[in-house]
Amino acid sequence: MEPLLAEPLVEAPEQGEPRVDPKKYLARFGYLAPADSDPTDRLARVRDIGLPVSDLSTTKLDEQAVTALKTFQQFYNLKPTGTLTDETRRLMLSPRCGMPDRPKLFDPQTGLIANFVVQGNRWGRTNLTYAFQNFTGDLGTADIINAIRQAFLAWSNFCFLTFTEVSGAGDIRIQFTAGDHGDGAPFDGPGGVLAHGFYPPPNGGDLAGDLHFDDAEIWSLTVPTPAARFDLWTVALHEVGHTLGLDHSNNAGAVMYAFYSGLRRNLQPDDTSGIASIYGGRSAKATLSDTAIGQPAWAALNQRGFLAWTGTNAAHNLNVMQTAELRVWVDKVTLGETSLSGPSLTVFNGRLYLAWRGVGNNKLNVMSSGDGRTWTNKVTLGDTTFNSPALCSANGKLFLAWTGTDNSRKLNIMQSGNGTNWGGKLTLGDTSVDGPSLCSLGNRVLLAWAGTNAAHNLNVMSYDGGSSFSNKVTLGESSFLTPNLTTVNGTVILAWTGTDSANKLNTLRSTNGVNFSLKATLNETSFFAPNVGSFNGRSLLLWTGKDNARSLNVMTI
């Protein structure tokens, strides 16, 4: 069957304004369907719910076409005359999304339709990836990327989904193309159909979830002037709704309304209710697409959060990616460095510092970055550990702590004034079953660890940055793994993996680093130590899940 868009929906005028072919239009957008419609067509599930008609060769409206036209008119709140009124014609000539409507969900007798329309498919997981296949020349690459990121963020702000931007192939592939581009739904040149987003699997085969923009349009990111320009952000917001499983709404104020009517960059209640009905409302927890061994690391710099982890690939490369709001994750870099433990991450003198245990020699390593993408100034120290090292900054110094490879597993700490030259090493009498953790509280540094005693009790101690340690506290809690510390708005949060059979995650809080209370035992579990961090005044818990993939998780607590 020849694609329906192979023939024009809008004809060149003999005089005056262009004419619309109502039967071709109604067939293209789901109100009429050819009797020989191929059920394997990628849009068939939507298109074929229209009324069947075998003859599209004439624009004369037969009884079936009149019924279909009335349904179209009622769907879009027009007077259902069954004739091509000026109002109907103007709407049909308006730029719109290329995905068909779903008139089957509309009752023309009662005029009733759901506030939102769910297509029926949904992604089987909540951590999705997206990738750019190419770009349009109408806008700068950075502007295009940001507009698409904002579209994904808008939807994830109202549901359980998170999105990670990747290179190469992703669950949702984004491209700018024109004319017949091989997906069974050719674009029709300037105006008319602007873009289409394919529904989640199983519809669409390998095109499921993909998002295509008509490159024959002139794309903009400002108030569209001249009228031939269309706002990419607005159209992307609509099409992402389709890639997640929403269909067209007949609510003219909704983002999922099929027709373009200028800038629309915020979801409306109709849209947010629809997406929540598929995936549930937004949760404090986000499960990411990336996977890890060991504990993840976290730091915040310049209003962005940075997540670092050791990958599950054969070499166990270190990775870093960033976010501005914990829902959309971008700028992932996979470093050449490798480790068999989780890394540590902190901010010092306006730069990110990453510390890790090297593969093979178990030596401590530190390097830094100003943006989380380019990492330099690597220093390999002579000291070794079998566990994750710890980093923090306080009083103009950078501190590094680790569990030694000596038989007693003594704790060690040293410092640097520039992140490159390290000295002042102290070896403590205390010993740990795993790596330690560090955080600052006022002008002090707090050190936490799981002891080597039979119960593996958690311990916290204060360090003045010189040679004095004080206020050691041995808690009644125990763990076989590193307990982790952070300070949020003057409150110290201590997190650890319990020794219970489920390995549940736990937290305690303190305002002075000595007295800990308000224990919370979460339903989240991990085979590894968790991490705690802060972002924009919020407390975060980060961990590697116990699922088969070892997915990374982030949750506000």
pLDDT tens for 521-549 read 999 999 999 999 999 999 999 999 999 99
d(CA 520, CA 506): 6
The question of whether 17 is a catalytic residue gets the answer: no
Between 511 and 36, name the one with better pLDDT.
Answer: 511
Share of the chain above pLDDT 90, in %: 68
406: helix, coil or strand? coil
Q: Give mean pLDDT, residues 228-255.
A: 91
Please say if the pLDDT value at position 345 is more than 90. Answer: yes
pLDDT tens for 437-456 read 999 999 999 999 999 999 99
Please say if the pLDDT value at position 203 is more than 90. Answer: no
Do 434 and 445 contact (CB within 8 A), yes or no?
no
Predicted local confidence at residue 161, as pLDDT: 94
Do 121 and 264 contact (CB within 8 A), yes or no?
no
d(CA 485, CA 466): 20
* Residues whose CB falls within 8 Å of the CB of residue 489, separated by 6 or more in sequence, listed in order: 534, 537
Residue 173: band (very low, low, confident or very high) from pLDDT cuts 50, 70, 90: very high
Q: At what angle do helices 232-243 and 269-279 cross, to 10 degrees?
A: 30
Between 462 and 95, name the one with better pLDDT.
Answer: 462
Please say if the pLDDT value at position 5 is more than 90. Answer: no
Which helix or strand (DSSP H or E) is residue 395 part of?
A: none
Select the CATH number that applies to the domain covering 127-279 from these four: 3.40.390.10, 3.10.20.740, 3.40.50.1370, 3.30.420.40: 3.40.390.10
Query: At 255, which amino acid appears?
Result: V
Do 69 and 22 contact (CB within 8 A), yes or no?
yes
Please say if the pLDDT value at position 7 is more than 90. Answer: no
Please say if the pLDDT value at position 373 is more than 80. Answer: yes
Q: Give mean pLDDT, residues 243-248.
A: 91
The residue whose two tokens read 């000595």 is: 514
Predicted local confidence at residue 60, as pLDDT: 67
Q: Give mean pLDDT, residues 376-395.
A: 97
Which residues is 199 bridged to in the sheet?
none
d(CA 150, CA 140): 16
Predicted local confidence at residue 383, as pLDDT: 98
d(CA 165, CA 145): 10
d(CA 200, CA 31): 22
Please say if the pLDDT value at position 102 is more than 60. Answer: yes
Please say if the pLDDT value at position 140 is more than 80. Answer: yes
* Residues whose CB falls within 8 Å of the CB of residue 163, separated by 6 or more in sequence, listed in order: 128, 129, 130, 152, 153, 156, 327, 328, 329
423: helix, coil or strand? strand
- The token pair at 342 is 């989780």
Cβ-count burial of 72 within 10 angstroms (0-12 exposed, 13-18 middle, 19+ buried)? Answer: buried
Predicted local confidence at residue 223, as pLDDT: 63
Nearest 10 degrees: CA dihedral of 96, 98, 104, 106? -10
d(CA 367, CA 347): 12
Predicted local confidence at residue 114, as pLDDT: 45
Do 288 and 477 contact (CB within 8 A), yes or no?
no
Predicted local confidence at residue 15, as pLDDT: 46
Q: Give mean pLDDT, residues 316-334.
A: 97
- Pairing status of strand 457-463 against strand 517-525: unpaired
Q: In this structure, what DSSP letter does residue 6 have?
A: G
Rg (the chain; Cα; Å): 29
Lowest mean pLDDT among 32-46, 369-383, 463-477: 32-46
pLDDT tens for 18-69 read 567 888 888 878 777 654 444 334 443 332 222 333 344 455 677 778 888 8
Same topology, domains 127-279 and 285-556? Answer is no
Residue 9: band (very low, low, confident or very high) from pLDDT cuts 50, 70, 90: very low
- Domain 285-556 in CATH 2.120.10.10? The answer is yes
Predicted local confidence at residue 426, as pLDDT: 97
Q: Give mean pLDDT, residues 308-316.
A: 98
- Domain boundaries, given as residue ranges, for the chain: 4-105, 127-279, 285-556
- The token pair at 315 is 């070499």
CA 405 to chain centre: 39
200, 257, 221, 228: which is closest to 76 by C-alpha? 257
Predicted local confidence at residue 6, as pLDDT: 33
Around Cβ 380, how many Cβ atoms within 10 Å?
A: 12
Mean per-residue pLDDT of the chain: 87
- Pairing status of strand 162-165 against strand 127-132: parallel
d(CA 411, CA 389): 10
Predicted local confidence at residue 8, as pLDDT: 43
Of 89-103, 150-164, 226-240, which has the strongest mean pLDDT?
A: 150-164
Q: Give mean pLDDT, residues 456-460.
A: 98
Choose the catalytic residue: 239, 337, 477, 524: 239
Predicted local confidence at residue 491, as pLDDT: 96
* Residues whose CB falls within 8 Å of the CB of residue 18, separated by 6 or more in sequence, listed in order: 10, 11, 12, 93
Predicted local confidence at residue 18, as pLDDT: 58
460, 514, 454: which is closest to 480 by C-alpha? 454
Q: Give mean pLDDT, residues 230-249.
A: 93
d(CA 291, CA 458): 27
